[in-house]
Structure 1
């Protein structure tokens, strides 16, 4: 049995109070309109407004994170490598470890990762570091030019992190509002068989981050009671501070990322959700892209998700069989990497949100050439990816697709039967008892006293039968 994605949704995949009918649009493309109190289709114009509400590419998580990483690295070089005073982040020579400015150094180092994975935490971090820099520049009149340039680079990084994070959070709110407006006021329970991801989503990152933070806290406490400096006037915990810096940056990033993923899953499963009929197209790299619908060829891929086997349930309920899979009613199977298929999306549409997608799949019994159509459900978080690499697509002809699938099934069956015939022919042509004679000539003479027969007398004499 092989599962195939069905091009259009049958009525059975819609929520209980959704009613649908098939119609033909003016351009000759077969489509379906949903009326009554059911699920709304996502219009291409509404989807285009949703796409334009996203942040520009320069403020995207990956691009913005790399920009911040470059700025933070440049600040490190200027403050610690080129500054002659080396007093950028500590009180001065002979004073030992500086604890007062240490939190600012941690927040600055974590800013690129927080911007990419936890933007809500990057906003207060940028404000704190920028305030500390302003106070330092106001008090320090003897800072050398490299250190002053380093402070200015830190201010630039804080401005980028603060502006970009606020921009991203605002874009999320706008996109959610646009998706909710397109879905209307109706809310639907999640379909039967939906994988409950709130029982595991984000837990691994959450507990890993918590463990790293606890280890960092233990090392930091040890550093507070470290040994004295060479001048014996202060404690030296520079080594502990460096280790804790790495642990806290990684730990807080994992912790925040896991917490946000868990909260998104909890919001999805904790209440009824809005629903939209969308199109989904699979990429060669395993990512699936949501678009406005499965009919409009100009509809651009909007946002991606990666379906996992643990978060996908197939054959949740039977939708039809036999004549229901006829090629003329839109219920033919397709290749999802070549064209999109139709699905019902439950949840809000924005970066970091989690959604449920229900679609139709068919399996065919090859010996009888009968088909059965089932509902399948996938739960997945939405990714902030931008590059999809998907080209234009053409709708497959249902009759031609069915003939091609039947031809492939016949060829697969013929190859299997031919392999079976060859294996049976080899078994029939094998010499009878050849392996038995081979084993008897060795094992019988060695272990069975009377098994060697009359031929043994010429070689082993009277000693053969007596042992």
Structure 2
């Protein structure tokens, strides 16, 4: 039995479907009108405005992170490799390790990672490092030419991180506002059977980050109270600082990333959410892309998520069977890698937000021509990916696909019945008990033959 995605949402999938709205007419008569739940469809024009509200590609999380990584690496080469000073964050030869400017080194190293995963933290970090760079450059004669060039690159990295971080936060607010305007004012509870992702989302990252951040101070304390330098003036903790720097950068990144993921899951589950009817298309790499709808072929993929088995609940409720989704009514199954399917999306639409998607799947039994449709619910955080690699799509011929499936199911059922009939005939042609007698006879013959060939050989020959 295999589950297939259904192209269009069948009756009973939309939240609040069939719920009546009571109203009073001018003559005082109370009337009741049936609605489809009031769930709005994401128009292609609204989705295009949502896409244009994103940050430029050069400041996108992945691209911007790599740009910052290149700038930080160049600054490291100039400040620590080409500069005549022993190190930019050290007080000089024989004076021991500089602890005052060590926090700036940590923040500079963390900028690419924080920009990618924790943009809120990248903004104040960029300001802190930029102020330190300006103060250093303001002291003439304190740095040589390579170090001055390195500090200028540090300022450039801080400008990119600050500008990109502010634009990303602004883009999130704008995209959330556009999605809320498209969804309308109605709010809905999450569908039945929604996985409670707030019970585990981000916990591993938070715990790992805390462990790394707790180990780093112990290493720094070992360097602070370690052996003095060769001159006996101060302590040399360069090695401890390097190890602790890596642990602190990784630990703070994991902790902030996990906290943001956990808070996004909490926001999704703790209150009713807006809902939109969207299209979803699967990529070859496992990512699923949300688009405006599943009908417009010009609708571009907008934002991605990765469904996991632990965050997906199948067969949450029965939606129909048999002729309920007969040929020609649009409730045929499709290949989600070739064309999108409809889904109800609960939650806000922006990178880092968590959403719940409910869609329909059909299960066809092996020896049945018709199957059953069930609702499936998936919760997942939205990824900041841009490149999807999906080409144009053509709608499948639903009636022809369903007729072919019914024909294959009938042929499979005929083959199964024929195999059952032949097996029954073979059982009837074998006399009752013959198999048991044959097995006993063969066992006795083998036993008798073995005795005659050994201990009874002489007597048989004498006769």
The TM-score by the shorter chain falls in which range?
0.7 to 0.9
- The CA distance in 2 between the partners of 1:355 and 1:436, in whole Å, is 71
- The CA distance in 1 between the partners of 2:138 and 2:167, in whole Å, is 29
Closer/same/farther in 2, CA of residues 435 and 150 from structure 1, 3 Å limit:
farther
The reply to whether residue 228 of structure 1 matches residue 228 of structure 2 is yes
Q: How do 1:95-134 and structure 2 match up within 5 A?
A: 95-134=95-134
Larger mean CA deviation between 359-368 and 403-412 belongs to: 403-412
Specify the alignment match of 2:338 in structure 1.
338
- The CA distance in 2 between the partners of 1:341 and 1:192, in whole Å, is 20
Specify the alignment match of 1:276 in structure 2.
276
Specify the alignment match of 2:451 in structure 1.
453
Aligned residue pairs total 440
1:125-179 superposed Cα distances (whole Å, 9 cap, x missing partner): 1000000111111124242110100000111111111111111111011000000
* Structure 1 unaligned spans of 5+: 21-33, 445-449, 463-467
Q: CA deviation at 1:14?
A: 0.9
- The answer to whether the 8 Å contact 1:19/1:38 transfers is no
Specify the alignment match of 2:305 in structure 1.
305
Closer/same/farther in 2, CA of residues 36 and 282 from structure 1, 3 Å limit:
closer
Closer/same/farther in 2, CA of residues 452 and 244 from structure 1, 3 Å limit:
same
- Secondary structure of the residue aligned to 1:279 is strand
- The CA distance in 1 between the partners of 2:53 and 2:303, in whole Å, is 13
Q: How do 1:241-280 and structure 2 match up within 5 A?
A: 241-280=241-280
- The answer to whether the 8 Å contact 2:5/2:341 transfers is yes
Closer/same/farther in 2, CA of residues 215 and 18 from structure 1, 3 Å limit:
farther
Closer/same/farther in 2, CA of residues 7 and 53 from structure 1, 3 Å limit:
same
Larger mean CA deviation between 79-88 and 432-441 belongs to: 432-441
Specify the alignment match of 1:81 in structure 2.
81
- The CA distance in 1 between the partners of 2:239 and 2:2, in whole Å, is 59
- The CA distance in 2 between the partners of 1:155 and 1:435, in whole Å, is 93
Specify the alignment match of 1:189 in structure 2.
189
Q: RMSD between aligned alpha carbons?
A: 3.0
- Secondary structure of the residue aligned to 1:361 is strand
Q: CA deviation at 1:438?
A: 9.6
- The CA distance in 2 between the partners of 1:93 and 1:7, in whole Å, is 71
Specify the alignment match of 1:149 in structure 2.
149
- The CA distance in 2 between the partners of 1:350 and 1:289, in whole Å, is 13
Specify the alignment match of 1:25 in structure 2.
none
Q: CA deviation at 1:417?
A: 8.3
- The CA distance in 1 between the partners of 2:104 and 2:228, in whole Å, is 24
Q: CA deviation at 1:365?
A: 2.7
Larger mean CA deviation between 89-98 and 119-128 belongs to: 89-98
Q: How do 1:288-303 and structure 2 match up within 5 A?
A: 288-303=288-303
- The answer to whether the 8 Å contact 2:82/2:146 transfers is yes
Closer/same/farther in 2, CA of residues 435 and 300 from structure 1, 3 Å limit:
farther
- The CA distance in 1 between the partners of 2:424 and 2:50, in whole Å, is 62
Q: How do 1:318-329 and structure 2 match up within 5 A?
A: 318-329=318-329
Closer/same/farther in 2, CA of residues 420 and 160 from structure 1, 3 Å limit:
farther
Q: How do 1:390-429 and structure 2 match up within 5 A?
A: 390-409=390-409
1:331-378 superposed Cα distances (whole Å, 9 cap, x missing partner): 111111111111100000000000000111111233232221111100
Closer/same/farther in 2, CA of residues 424 and 114 from structure 1, 3 Å limit:
farther
- The answer to whether the 8 Å contact 2:347/2:356 transfers is yes
Larger mean CA deviation between 432-441 and 146-155 belongs to: 432-441
- The CA distance in 2 between the partners of 1:193 and 1:135, in whole Å, is 57
Specify the alignment match of 2:27 in structure 1.
none
- The CA distance in 1 between the partners of 2:424 and 2:150, in whole Å, is 79
- The answer to whether the 8 Å contact 1:325/1:371 transfers is no
Closer/same/farther in 2, CA of residues 417 and 120 from structure 1, 3 Å limit:
farther
Closer/same/farther in 2, CA of residues 51 and 415 from structure 1, 3 Å limit:
farther
Specify the alignment match of 2:162 in structure 1.
162
Q: CA deviation at 1:18?
A: 6.4
Q: CA deviation at 1:66?
A: 0.6
Q: How do 1:309-388 and structure 2 match up within 5 A?
A: 309-388=309-388
Q: How do 1:204-223 and structure 2 match up within 5 A?
A: 204-223=204-223
- Secondary structure of the residue aligned to 1:363 is strand
- The CA distance in 1 between the partners of 2:444 and 2:238, in whole Å, is 75
- The CA distance in 1 between the partners of 2:329 and 2:361, in whole Å, is 15
Normalising by structure 2, report the TM-score: 0.88
- Secondary structure of the residue aligned to 2:316 is strand
* Structure 2 unaligned spans of 5+: 21-33, 430-434
- The CA distance in 2 between the partners of 1:40 and 1:305, in whole Å, is 21
- The answer to whether the 8 Å contact 1:37/1:186 transfers is no
